[in-house]
Amino acid sequence: MRALVVSDKVEPILYSAGINRHVGEIDLIIGCGDLPHYYLEFIMTMVSRPTYYVYGNHGREVEYQSGKGEDWQQVTEPMGAENLHMRTAREGSLLMAGLEGSIRYNNARRFQYTDTEMLFNILRMAPRLITNKARFGRYLDVLVAHSPPWGIHDQPDVPHQGFKSFLTFMKWFRPRYLLHGHIHLYRRDVVTETRYLDTDVINVYPYRILDLEPRA
């Protein structure tokens, strides 16, 4: 499965009429968060493939609409894309799951989690992964996340620290890939792919075209 994976930044080469020429044949689109809806919707419309995403930590990428009264907290979703947070999905033979947001660093209402809260998210998703294992012989192939794991591609300042619970996730469920964003890259020599146990951890910022295959 050839996946176009995007994160954190509107990339002019993709947000253009030439996107299909640039990316070639694509089977699926994945968003790793902190992206405006219009960007994901544009890519979905132009490339016309199934699209899955998780939210990042930033309120700015979330579009609100008025709920009842003065409540502007109702979060809207990109049209036609599937929110993978704490869910599983199967696209072709590829088993996917998602975990949104980042480590908690302020009192924002949504999209930030303590490591313990993220572990609970994982535990709540676990029954669906165990069902996968029974049906397909593996828990999942791809974890779509916004944050990196602790100690892998993360940074010392609190907002950019990774989740220790993601290390636990990889130990328990052995995905072939963990895709994340959140860590913006400004230099070419920064490591963006790291093997941890059975998992290739990949920072996709700002976009990657990846051949994602189930483990044989």
User: What is the binding site for Zn ion (CB under 5 A)?
Assistant: 34, 56-57, 182
Q: Exposure pattern of 107-116 as b/e (b: 16+ CB <10 Å)?
A: eeeebbbebe
Closest CB to Zn ion among residues 20, 155: 155
Closest CB to Zn ion among residues 162, 176: 162
The bridge status of strand 64-65 relative to strand 142-145 is unpaired
Closest CB to Zn ion among residues 13, 108: 108
The bridge status of strand 88-91 relative to strand 94-99 is antiparallel
Sign of CA dihedral 140, 142, 146, 150: positive
Q: How buried is residue 82: exposed, middle or buried, by Cβ count under 10 Å (0-12/13-18/19+)?
A: middle
Min CB(29)–Zn ion separation in Å? 19
Closest CB to Zn ion among residues 176, 182: 182
Min CB(52)–Zn ion separation in Å? 18
CA distances for 129 relative to 2, 32, 35, angstroms: 23, 20, 27
Residue number with the smallest Cβ distance to Zn ion: 182
What is d(CA 43, CA 26) in angstroms, rounded to the nearest whole number? Answer: 11
Closest CB to Zn ion among residues 75, 126: 75
Min CB(83)–Zn ion separation in Å? 16
Query: Could you tell me if 63 and 76 are in contact, meaning their C-beta atoms sit under 8 angstroms apart?
Result: yes
Min CB(104)–Zn ion separation in Å? 13
Min CB(159)–Zn ion separation in Å? 8
Q: How buried is residue 174: exposed, middle or buried, by Cβ count under 10 Å (0-12/13-18/19+)?
A: middle
Closest CB to Zn ion among residues 33, 175: 33
Min CB(101)–Zn ion separation in Å? 8
Residues written for the chain:
216
